[in-house]
Structure 1
Amino acid sequence: MTVKIVTDSTSDLMSETASELGITIVPLNVHFGTEIGTETYRDGVDLKAEDFYRRLEQSKTLPTTSAPAPGTFAEVYDKLAKETDEILVITISSKLSATYKAAVDGKEVMKSNARLEVIDSLSAMVGLGLIVISAAKAAKAGASLDEVIDVVRSSMGRVDFRLAFDTLEYLRKGGRIGTAQAFLGSALKVNPILTIKNGLTEGVTRVRSRAKAVDYLGDFVMGFPDVEELAIEDATTPAESEVLAERLGSRFPRERIYWMKVGPVIGTHVGPHVLGVGVLPAK
C-alpha cells in the first residue's frame, strides 16, 4: 500500500498540487471578531485567500488563528487508514503553532491501527510545502514509511527560502516575529527579507525598494548550482511572481516551478504583500 501524506494548511500548497501528489491537507482556523461575536473559518475551505485579504483590509481588528483540534486530525487518520496501513504527517514548526501537538494528540484518539508518524518540519509556508512535496513524490514512487521519513529528514536539512515583506507589523502583532524584531523601528522605508531557521522566524537582510527585494529573491535562487525543486509564493501580488518566474526562466522552465499562495492563516501573520521563493537544493 502507498504511504499517505498529511500536512496542514500552512504549507500553502495549491489544491491542484495536493490532488496531483495525493496530499491530504488539514486546515487551521481563522477567527474574525464581529459586533455579535466571533466568526470561525477553516483555512482554505470556508475562506479562500482572495476573500480573506479583501476582508483583512476592511477589518478594524486583526483576526486570530488556531490549530486544528486533535479530533480533526483523528478523523483524517481514520479515513486514510481505510486506504493504507502507513501514514506520515508533516506539520508547521511547533515553535510557531500548536498544530504539531494537535497532530500528535490526534494519534492517541484515532480508532484505526495504521502505523502513523508525525514530524515537526521546523518550517512553514514554502519551506514546509517543498518538504511535503518531496515526501509525496517518494511515497508515490513506492517508498516505505521509513524510507519516506528519511526523505523528509534529508529535505528538512536542505530546504531554504526567503520571504520579502513590505511591513513586519503583522508578524509583530501576531507574536511570530522572532529575531526579525531587530528590523522594527527603522525610519527608512525598507523591505525586510526573512526566513525560518530552527523553527523560528529569522531576519536575513533589508533592501531599499520592492524592486530590489524581487531582485534579491531572484539572485538567491540563481545562487544554487543545482536545484531539485523550486517554488514561488505570493499573497496578493501574482504579477510579482510572474516577474520572478521570467527572471528565472533561463534555468527553470515554468513547468518546473511550484506555485503557492499564502493562505488566510499565514496571511494573518505576514500580511497581504509577502513574496517568497523556496529552493530544495539537489543532494
Structure 2
Amino acid sequence: MKIAVVTDSTAYLSAEQVKENNIHVVPIPFTVDGQTYREGVDITTTDFYAKLRTVREFPKTSQPPVGELLSLYEELGKQGYDTVISIHLAGTISGLVATLESVKDQVPGVRVIPFDSRITVILMGMLAVKAARMANAGKSADEIIAALTELRDTIGEYFVVDDLQNLVRGGRLSNTAAFIGSVLKIKPLLTFDEQTDEIVGFEKVRSTKKALKRAEALFAERMKDVDYPLHLFVIHANDPEMAAKWQHRLQKQYPDYPVDISYFGPVIGTHLGEKALALAWMRDIDK
C-alpha cells in the first residue's frame, strides 16, 4: 500500500512543510471584484488584504473544480499511489468534503478517503503533517484515520475579530442575531462549536486587549484537565506585530509548550476580516 496525503490551501503550511512531508496541496479559488485567484498561487496574502480594504463587492470563495481534484488523484495513481487521504476544511464552512464523498469512487485503482478536519488553518495543516508522517512510515490507512480522529479531538481555538461584518455578510456565523445589534461596538469572541462545528459567537468584549486576556483565561480553564503536551498557535489576519506580542506573552505563560505564529490567508481572511486574531491549540504531534 502506498498512501498519498492531499489537503487544501487553507492549511497554510509553509513550502518547507509541504516538501518535507510530501503533501499535495489543492488551491481554493476566491473572487475579488470579478477577478478569480487561486489561494497561494496567484496572489500574496499581503496583496489580498490590501485589496480587501477597497473592494466594491464582498469577496466570494468557492470549491476547487471537481475535475481538478480528480485529475490530481488520477496523477497520484499513475505515480504508484493506491490510496489518497484527502484532508479538508470543515464541512460546516465548505461543501468540499461532501463533494469529494460523491466522487471518491470515480478514480480507477485509487481509494480516495475524504477526511473532514472540522476546522481549517494551521490546525488542519498539522493533521495533514501527521497523516503524511504516518504514511511515510508505512502505517495503514485505517491507522492513519484513527490517529487523525483522535488528534482532531484535541483541537481548540478562540477567535477575536475586529468586527463581525465579514462573517455576517458571508453567512458564516451561526448565531448572528445575538451579536448583530452591537457589531461596531464590541470585539466578539468566537469559536467552533464542539457539537455542530459551526462558528459561533459566545462573548462580547469591549476592546481587543480585554478580548485577548479573556481568551487566555478561557484557555487556562480548558487546560486544567489536559494531560498531554500541547502545541499552541497565534494566528493573525495581516497583523504580525500584534501576533508577535501575543506569542511572546503566551510563551512566558506556557514555557513548556511551543507557541508558533501562523496566519489567516485570503480564503479564511475573507470571512474573518483583517486584524482578526486567534489562540489555537492541539496535541503536539512532535511529542
Other-structure match for 1:21? 21
Identity across matched positions, percent: 29
Other-structure match for 2:266? 264
Is 1:167 the equivalent of 2:167? Answer: no
Aligned pairs for 1:3-152 within 5 A: 3-33=3-33, 38-81=34-77, 82-110=79-107, 112-152=108-148
- Cα distance in 1 for partners of 2:206, 2:229 equals 28
Change (3 A) 1:79 1:220: farther
Q: Which runs of 5+ in 2 are unaligned?
A: none
- Cα distance in 2 for partners of 1:181, 1:125 equals 26
Other-structure match for 2:279? 277
The alpha carbon displacement at 1:23 in A equals 2.1
The alpha carbon displacement at 1:253 in A equals 6.9
Encode CA deviations 1:136-163: one digit per residue, 9 max, x unaligned: 3433443221111001111222211111
Q: Which runs of 5+ in 1 are unaligned?
A: none
Change (3 A) 1:179 1:141: farther
For normalisation by structure 2, the TM-score amounts to 0.86
Other-structure match for 1:204? 202
Task: Out of 212-221 and 17-26, give the one that drifted further.
Answer: 212-221
* Aligned residue pair count: 277
Assess if the C-alpha contact under 8 Å between 2:234 and 2:279 holds in 1: yes
The alpha carbon displacement at 1:39 in A equals 1.4
Is 1:155 the equivalent of 2:151? Answer: yes
- The two structures, once aligned, show a CA RMSD in angstroms of 2.5
Assess if the C-alpha contact under 8 Å between 1:234 and 1:260 holds in 2: yes
- Cα distance in 1 for partners of 2:217, 2:75 equals 44
Assess if the C-alpha contact under 8 Å between 1:233 and 1:261 holds in 2: yes
Task: Out of 115-124 and 166-175, give the one that drifted further.
Answer: 115-124
Other-structure match for 1:192? 188
Assess if the C-alpha contact under 8 Å between 1:235 and 1:267 holds in 2: yes
Assess if the C-alpha contact under 8 Å between 1:232 and 1:241 holds in 2: yes
Name the amino acid aligned to 2:19: S
The alpha carbon displacement at 1:27 in A equals 1.3
Encode CA deviations 1:178-215: one digit per residue, 9 max, x unaligned: 12541221277221111112221112322221112222
- Cα distance in 2 for partners of 1:100, 1:194 equals 23
